[in-house]
Amino acid sequence: MALTKDHILDALRGVMHPSGEDLVARGCVINIAVCDDQASVRVCMTQGEPNTPQPEKAQLTRMGSVIDATVRGAASEQGIANLQLITEFVDHGGNVVMRLSGGKVTTPESKRPEQDTPQNKDATGVPGVKHIIAVGAGKGGVGKSTVAVNLAVGLARKGHAVGLLDGDIYGPSLPTMMGLDAMEQQVLEGALQPFYVHGVKCITMGKLVDTDKPLIWRGPMAHGAFNQLVERTQWGELDYLIIDLPPGTGDVPLTLAQSVQLAGAVVVCTPQKVAQDDAVRASGMFESLGVEVLGVVENMSFFIGDDGKEYDIFGRGGAQTMAQKLGHPFLGAVPINMALRSNGDSGRPSDNFDPKTAGGEALPKALESMVDQFEAQVTLAQMGKGASKPTLSIS
Ligand code: ADP
């Protein structure tokens, strides 16, 4: 027996909103993450009513206890006696207004400054940034940048404050994929100002150097260039900073793991055996750097023909099987899709989330599900983690 998202959702149908409707029917349940005996539930009590103020603390605390008891009841029906549960109430912007965990209630005002306020530089190593996640792949051309871009845009569409750093300093693709070509990099008092496009703050080496000339940066130069991009950008406050790494297992991931505290890494892979072998190496590299692999995305998983049938060109499921073997969560399968390629080439990633401009429902659904899984895994990783910096063990 295992507790699933659906068990929790079904149980929450029994929890009533003050309006008389249940929480699920009213759309208040924003996100549920579950893995073994750990779960998190995110609720917005004023969903769909942007002008209504958040309920009083006492009311949220009462509602939180009901949710807590209900979810624990669902867990115990599945044989889980000691569920580790976090219940978060959020406002319309996705900001947490109250968190209940292990019998403790915290509100943003009651947090000690050194706990996890955005200003705390020690949390991630970058002031104002809550979670830094690297997106890597064992080899080029598997869709790593595509996944990083769509992850960032998808998170922003869900109301998160998101930054995207093109860590592929050798072959930056963000200028094209995010549509930055006609824009100029702004610098204010020595700080790089990120471009704000598709709801995401982005920075890329592609807007700082002449991309027509090959970049031949080795070791310390690559290290310095990358660190400057991370540190000299005025990010402001971010929920997620997504870093699109160069392909392979080189200097940049090492620099990254040394200079910031990563919440984890996402490995992108196509289903073929050769791509999987590279992805296994990439995953091994993250682990040797002490960086948790949050999950694997299978890109170019299958193709949907004009006849509506799904064709498994590269052997769908290969990356999923690999993820299972390595014990990593599977974050989802992204189909081969003409719109995804053309929206990438023309810098319109938001179009991937609209069935009218994404060639149908399949792509938006796949991307949204990937974003949901990603959020869930970041939450779970934070629950199970102390705040220690990764230790390097390189042989
Ligand atoms: P990487 O970062 O791994 O080198 P990219 O994300 O740059 O790979 O993708 C390489 C090319 O493949 C791009 O033109 C991109 O638009 C295209 N592409 C990536 N994933 C898909 C997909 N699922 N369907 C169609 N085209 C894709």
Interval 31-90: pLDDT, tens: 777 767 777 888 999 988 878 888 998 899 999 999 999 999 999 999 988 887 888 888
Residue range 129-384 in CATH 3.40.50.300: yes
> What are the pLDDT digits (tens) for 343-364?
999 999 999 999 999 989 999 9
Atom 17 (ligand 1) nearest CA: 341
Distance in Å, CA 208 to ligand 1 centroid? 23
Question: Does the CB atom of residue 142 touch ligand 1 within 6 A?
Answer: yes
Q: How far apart are the first and last CA of the chain?
A: 41
Atom 12 (ligand 1) nearest CA: 143
Residue 60: name the closest of 7, 23, 114, 112 by CA.
Answer: 23
For residues 64 and 98, is the Cβ–Cβ distance under 8 A? yes
Average pLDDT, the chain: 84
Question: Does the CB atom of residue 40 touch ligand 1 within 6 A?
Answer: no
Atom 27 (ligand 1) nearest CA: 341
For residue 211, give the amino acid letter: T
The CATH number given to 5-111 is 3.30.300
Give the domain ranges of the chain: 5-111, 129-384
Atom of ligand 1 nearest to the CA of 149: 6
User: Around Cβ 149, how many Cβ atoms within 10 Å?
Assistant: 29
> What are the pLDDT digits (tens) for 6-39?
899 999 999 999 999 999 999 998 877 776 777 7
More confident site: 82 or 238:
238
Residue 324: name the closest of 286, 282, 295 by CA.
Answer: 295
Atom 13 (ligand 1) nearest CA: 341
> What are the pLDDT digits (tens) for 299-309?
999 998 777 78
Residue 147: name the closest of 393, 384, 389, 371 by CA.
Answer: 371
Distance in Å, CA 29 to ligand 1 centroid? 33
